[in-house]
Structure 1
Amino acid sequence: MDVLTIFAGVLLFLAVSLLFSVIKIVPQGREFTVERFGKYTKTLSPGIGFLTPFVERIGKRMNMMEQVLDVPTQEVITKDNAMVRVDGIVFIQVMDAARAAYRVDDLTYAIAQLCMTNLRTVVGSMELDEVLSQRDSINTRLLHVIDAATEPWGVKVNRIEIKDLTPPTDVTNAMARQMKAERERRAVVTEADGEKQAAIARAEGAKQAAILEAEGRKEAAFRDAEAREREAEAEARATAMVSEAIARGDVNAINYFVAQKYVEAFADLARSPQQRTVIVPAEMGALVGTIAGIGEMVGLAKAQQQDAPQPARPTTTARRSSVPPTA
C-alpha cells in the first residue's frame, strides 16, 4: 500500500512537471524564444504557448518594453584640450527578440559600451563652448550613430540624453568671471544707452524751446513794428491835422502842439536816471510870447488871404492864448 502511494505520487509529480514543461504562459511585454535541441525554432508571444515535451525548451526571456540604461560617467578631452566629465542615459526597446537574444551577448552591457565610445568620439570632436551649448546636437549625433549600430541586434534606440557635463574647476571659475564681466558690460551699455536717450530728449526739448522762443520774439517784433507803424500813422495824421489847422490859421492848434512838445521834453528831463534835481523855469513868458507871436503871424497870413485886414483880432486871439495851456 505504501509502495502504491509512493508510485502514484511520483506519477502525479511527473505529470505536473510534464504539464508545466509543455504549457508556457508568456506575460504581456515579454517574449520567449523556443529552442529545440539547443537550436532556435520560434518565439512565443504574450499568452499561452505549447512546447513539445522533452524536445523543446524556453531559450531566452526577452523584455520587449522600453528600457532605460545608464551611461557611466567618463572623462573626455575636447578638441581644445579641455577635460570634461560626461554621463547620460539611453532609451532602448527590443524589436526582434530572436536577434536580440542570439546576435549579441549581454545586450545592455554592449549598448552601454557603444554609447560610451561614441560619446567620447562626438565630444572629442567639439570645442568646450560647443559641448556646453550644443547638447541637442550631441544627442542627435549619438542617436543616429548608435541606432544604426544596434539595428542588426533587433534593438531600437529611441533617444539619448546627456545627463551631466562637468568642466574642470578652473574652467568653471573662468566661465563665472566671464559671465560676470559680460553682465557688467551689458549694464554699462544699458546705462550709456539711457544717458544717450536722455541727452537726446533734453536736446530735443531745448530745440523746441528755442524754436518757440524765436517764434515768440518774431511775433513780438512783428507786433512792436505794427504798433510803431500804427503810432507813426497816428502821429502823421495828427501832424497833418495840425498842419491843416495852422494853414487855416487856427492858433489853438499851434498852441496845443507846441505845449505838448514842451511837456514831453520836460517829462523826459524829469525821468532821466542821471537827473537829481529838476528846475522848473521861473519865467514862462518867453514860451507864451513865442506862442502869441506865432499866433499873430498866422492871423496876419489869414487876414491877408481874406483881403480883409483886421489888425485887432490877432492881438485879441493872442491875448486869449497868452495863458499857458498846462500849469
Structure 2
Amino acid sequence: MVKNILGLLAVAVAVVVLLPTTVGTPVTGAVAIAAVLLALGLVVAGVKTVPQGQQWTIERFGRYTRTLTPGLGLIIPFIDVVGTKLSMMESVLDVPAQGVISSDNVAITADAVVFYRVDDAAAAAYQVERLEDAILNLSTTNLRSVLGSLELDAMLSNREVINARLLDAMDAATSPWGVKITRVEIRDLSMPPEIQDAMKLQMTAERKRRAMVTEAQGRREAEVAIAEGEKTAAVLRAEGEREAAFKLAEAREREAAAEARATEDVSRAIAGGNEQAVQYFLGLKYVEALKEIGTANNSKLVLMPLEASGITGAVAGISELLNHKNQP
C-alpha cells in the first residue's frame, strides 16, 4: 500500500520535472504550480478510504475487478472507478401493510420487518438490481403466500412458526444475491371490527364452556368420593357385623356346651337314682321361666298359674343336693 502511494508521488514528480523539458520552455511558477496540482490530483484520485462497515466494488472499463474492504485502498486513476458502495452491517427493511385472505376466507392486514445482511458485496451489486426493492417485493410475496395458507386461528397462535417459514423461504431466495436474511418478524395482524366482535363472543363462549366442564368434573369427583366413602363404610359395617356374629355364635356355642355338660351331669345323677338332681334341674328351669315372664311383662301385677309350693320344693331340693354334696 505504501509502495503504491510512493509510486504515485514519483509519477507526479516526474511529470513536474519532465513536462517543461519536453515542451522546451523554461520552468515558470505557473507551470510548476499546475504540475503540483496535477500530481496531487492523481494521488487523490488513486487513493480511496473505505469506512468501517462498508465495501466498495471497483470496475475497470465497466467490468468488476475487485472489492475494497474497510481502510485505505488504491486504484488506478481514470481507469478504475468505484462501482457500488455497499453497507455490510445488518439492516432493517420495513414491509408495508398487506391485505391477506386466510384459508378460511377472513380478510386481515399484516405487516412485518425484515433484518438482512450483505455477505458478498460483488453478488449484491451485480446479481440483482435495486437490492432493497427486490427484498421488499420478495417479502410481500412470501408474506401473502404463507399467511394465505393458514386459518385465522393458526395465524394468531403460531407467529413463531410463521416467522420461521418466512425466514427459510426468503433466505433461500436471497442466497444467490449474497444476502443473508437474519430475521423476519410479523409485527401486526389486524382484522375488521366485525371479526374482532365475533372472536370476543367465541372467547366468551369458550370460557363458559370450560367453566361448565370444570364444574361438571368437580361434581363427578365429589360424587365418586362420596360413593367410595359409602362403599368403604358399608364394607366396614359388614366386617363389623360379621365379627359380631362370629363372637355371638362363639358365645352361644360355649353356652350350649356348658348347658350340655350340665345336662349330662344331671342325666348321670338321675341315672344313679338321685332325685335331688331332678329337682335341681326342674327348679333351675322354673326360675329361668319366671325371669323371662317378669322381663317381658311391664305391669306390676303378674298372674302365675303355678303353685308356690313348687318353687319351695325345688329350692328345698337344691339345698338338700348341696348339703349332700358337702357331706364327707
Shared fold per TM-score greater than 0.5: yes
Per-residue CA deviation, residues 265-314 of structure 1 (Å, 9 max, x unaligned), is 2222222235341358996335556899x99xxxxxxxxxxxxxxxxxxx
- Counterpart of 1:308 in structure 2 is none
Secondary structure of the structure 2 residue equivalent to 1:54: coil
Equivalent-residue separation in structure 2 for 1:6 and 1:176 (angstroms): 86
The aligned runs of 1:232-247 (5 Å cut-off) are 232-247=256-271
Task: State the identity %.
Answer: 51
Cα–Cα, structure 1 residues 6 and 185, in superposed 2: closer, same or farther, change >3 Å?
A: farther
Distance 2:256 2:168 in 1: 100
Q: String of CA shifts for 1:207-234, please: whole Å, max 9, x gaps.
A: 2222222222222222222222221221
Partner residue of 1:188? Answer: 212
- In 2, the alpha carbon distance for the partners of 1:42 and 1:282 equals 145
AA at the equivalent of 2:204: K
For 1:59, the equivalent position in structure 2 comes to 83
Closer/same/farther in 2, CA of residues 125 and 267 from structure 1, 3 Å limit: closer
C-alpha separation between the residues in 2 aligned to 1:17 and 1:279?
Answer: 157
Unmatched tracts of structure 2, length 5 or more: 1-27
Bigger Rg over Cα: 1
- Cα gap change, 1:57 to 1:218, in 2 (>3 Å): same
2:57 to 7, 11, 33: 33
- Of residues 82-91 and 99-108 in structure 1, the stretch that sits farther from structure 2 once superposed is 99-108
Q: Structure 1 61/5 Cα, relative in aligned 2: closer, same or farther at 3 Å?
A: same
Answer yes or no: is 1:72 the counterpart of 2:105.
Answer: no
**Which residue is 2:199 aligned to?**
175
Unpaired stretches in structure 1, ≥5 consecutive residues: 296-316, 322-327
8 Å contact kept, 2:280–2:314 = no
Spell out the pairing of 1:104-253 with structure 2 (5 A cutoff).
104-253=128-277
- SS of the residue 2:138 aligns to: helix
Distance 2:127 2:67 in 1: 15
Aligned with 1:31: secondary structure? Answer: strand
Match of 1:46 in 2: 70
What is the letter of the counterpart of residue 177 of structure 1? L
Aligned mates of 1:227, 1:59 — CA distance in 2: 118
Work out the number of aligned pairs and report it: 295
**Which stretch shows the higher mean deviation, 10-19 or 243-252?**
10-19
Corresponding residue SS for 2:287: helix
Letter matched to residue 209 of structure 1? A
The answer (yes or no) to whether the contact 1:88–1:164 under 8 Å persists in 2 is yes
Structure 2 letter corresponding to 1:179: M
State how far apart, in whole Å, the 2-side matches of 1:8 and 1:131 are: 75
Q: C-alpha separation between the residues in 1 aligned to 2:314 and 2:259?
A: 23
Q: Secondary structure at the match of 1:147?
A: helix
Q: CA deviation at 1:86?
A: 0.7
Q: Tell me how large the CA RMSD over aligned residues is.
A: 3.3
8 Å Cα contact 1:254/1:291 also seen in 2: no
Match of 2:18 in 1: none
- Deviation of 1:115 after TM superposition, in Å, equals 1.0
Counterpart Cα distance in 2 of 1:147 and 1:268: 107
Which deviates more, 267-276 or 84-93? 267-276
